[in-house]
Amino acid sequence: MAVTKGVILVGGPSKGTRMRPLSLDCPKPLLPVAGKPMVWHPLSALAKVPELTEVIIIGFYEDAVMSGFIKDAKREYPNLAISYLREYRPLGTAGGLYHFRDSILRAPVPQNIFICNIDVCCSFPLAEMMDVHSKHRGVGTILGVNVKRETATQYGCIVHDPETSQVLHYVEKPESWISNMVNGGVYLFDKSLFDEIKVAMDDKTARAAEDPLIQSDEILRLEQDVIVPLAASRKMYVYQTNDFWRQMKTAASAVTASSLYLSRFLKNRPDLLAKPSSSIIAPSYVDPTATIDPSAKIGPNVAIGPNVTIGAGVRVKDAIIFEGSTLEQHACVVHSIVGANCQIGPWARVDGEPEPEKDTKGQISVTVLASEVTLAPETHVRSCIVLPNKSLSRSSANQVLL
């Protein structure tokens, strides 16, 4: 089998603002989802691909931000070369890839390159994508996902030939409905991708020279600037997954993604999950350094981080509790995220609604407490976003608390 490499695009601090307030304290790629940093999920999927020699993470976070994760990842996957490459100037997703082409293509020279966006949560059916990819003569294979008609235009829409899986047409976030199949944010490209990016770059420069309305900048986006022309020249194919898939752009979506990954762990990584007991309902993740009172009830779909303390009679369901937080006796946390080092008083309640499929502007579903938030005993915070270091002594609903 040919050498394969993986690239994970993690963006940077100026991106992912919709992940606020969580991303104010914790860089998005490192946000814990199902007990693991977001970036771990694509990485662990890539690690299972046979002949995959190297994973390169590209973003514009400082090296120090990612170094801890890279160290841990190397320990977990000793046979894999893992590195973080930092972009210093915004080049766009395709521009960034091209900028680091020498690093990606260095020996062992890969025949194929997986590219994963950080903000998708899915089963990463990489073996299936490889299977499709190896049977066509195109440049790339996209992971295609069927979504509801009313949400399709939020994504890159794909029209394909169901017989051949060839992509016939691709439009990023169209104004009107085109198809229910959308871009899942995971790609497998032949190494000739870099030639195609070069063509797209030259093309853009040429157009900018002719048309003063087109801005001449260095930014080149993978979807609009590369995949669109590749689709038009019939060089793209699609592998359609019927497995779970969600976009992870908002803090609320982390709860959904966490529960999807936890359910998946039931099948493929039960070793990562907390053992079901009188107080733990599967699937749940409990960090070994967390303390859980035996009278508490945790789960399903709960991820509890390091050094968390869960008091007597506490209830946690459909929630993520970040490291160092304390939930005092009889507190109840449902459909919520509790940031790092929060203090939830006795009988306090933190709850929200499940994340809706389509966002309604101004409506908060999941409650998100950022780090170091203190909630007084018996207070109730419902469908709120609470910024860091707030001390709440009164109940609140449906608002952002600055």
Partner 1 sequence: MKALILVGGFGTRLRPLTLSWPKPLVDFCNKAMILHQIEALVKAGVKDIVLAVNYRPEVMVSVLKKTEEEFGIKITFSVETEPLGTAGPLALARDILGKDDSPFFVLNSDVTCTYPFEAFRDFHLSHKCEGSIMVTKVAEPSAYGVVVTKPGSTAIDRFVEKPVEFVGNRINAGIYMFNPSVLDRIELRPTSIEKEIFPQIAADGQLHSYDLAGFWMDVGQPKDYITGTCLFLSHLTSQHSPLLSDPSKNKWVYGGNVLVDPTAEIDPTAVIGPNVVIGQGVKIGPGVRLQRCVILSNAVVRDHAWIANSIVGWNSNVGRWVRVENITVLGDDVTIKDELYVNGASVLPHKSISSSITEPRIVM
Name the site residues for partner 1 (rule: CB under 8 A).
Answer: 312-313, 315, 317, 329-330, 332, 334, 347, 349, 351, 378, 380, 382-383, 397
Instruction: Tell me if 365 sits within 8 A of 383, measured CB to CB.
Output: yes
Pick 22 or 334: Cβ nearer partner 1? 334
Shortest reach from residue 247's CB to partner 1, in Å: 26
The tokens for 320 are 């993520």
Pick 28 or 315: Cβ nearer partner 1? 315
Instruction: Tell me if 187 sits within 8 A of 114, measured CB to CB.
Output: yes
End-to-end CA distance of the chain: 54
Shortest reach from residue 349's CB to partner 1, in Å: 5
Pick 68 or 276: Cβ nearer partner 1? 276
Helix, strand and coil percent figures for the chain, each rounded to 5: 25, 30, 40
Q: Are strands 156-160 and 297-298 parallel, antiparallel or unpaired?
A: unpaired
Pick 258 or 383: Cβ nearer partner 1? 383
Pick 287 or 293: Cβ nearer partner 1? 293
Shortest reach from residue 33's CB to partner 1, in Å: 23
| DSSP conformational letter for 30 | G
Shortest reach from residue 230's CB to partner 1, in Å: 47
Rounded distance between C-alpha atoms, residue 214 and residue 37, angstroms: 39
CA distances from 181 to 166, 169, 170, 232 (A): 13, 11, 10, 17
Shortest reach from residue 288's CB to partner 1, in Å: 26
Rounded distance between C-alpha atoms, residue 337 and residue 318, angstroms: 9
Shortest reach from residue 148's CB to partner 1, in Å: 22
Shortest reach from residue 365's CB to partner 1, in Å: 12
Rounded distance between C-alpha atoms, residue 61 and residue 92, angstroms: 15
Instruction: Tell me if 224 sits within 8 A of 172, measured CB to CB.
Output: yes
Instruction: Tell me if 129 sits within 8 A of 113, measured CB to CB.
Output: no
Shortest reach from residue 217's CB to partner 1, in Å: 47
Rounded distance between C-alpha atoms, residue 386 and residue 399, angstroms: 8
Pick 81 or 312: Cβ nearer partner 1? 312
The dihedral sign for the CA sequence 207, 209, 212, 218: positive
Pick 51 or 293: Cβ nearer partner 1? 293
Pick 206 or 397: Cβ nearer partner 1? 397
Shortest reach from residue 6's CB to partner 1, in Å: 41
**Residue ranges in 238-346 assigned as alpha helix (H):** 251-268
For residue 9, the cross-strand partners are 58, 117
Pick 160 or 297: Cβ nearer partner 1? 297
Q: Are strands 156-160 and 167-172 parallel, antiparallel or unpaired?
A: antiparallel
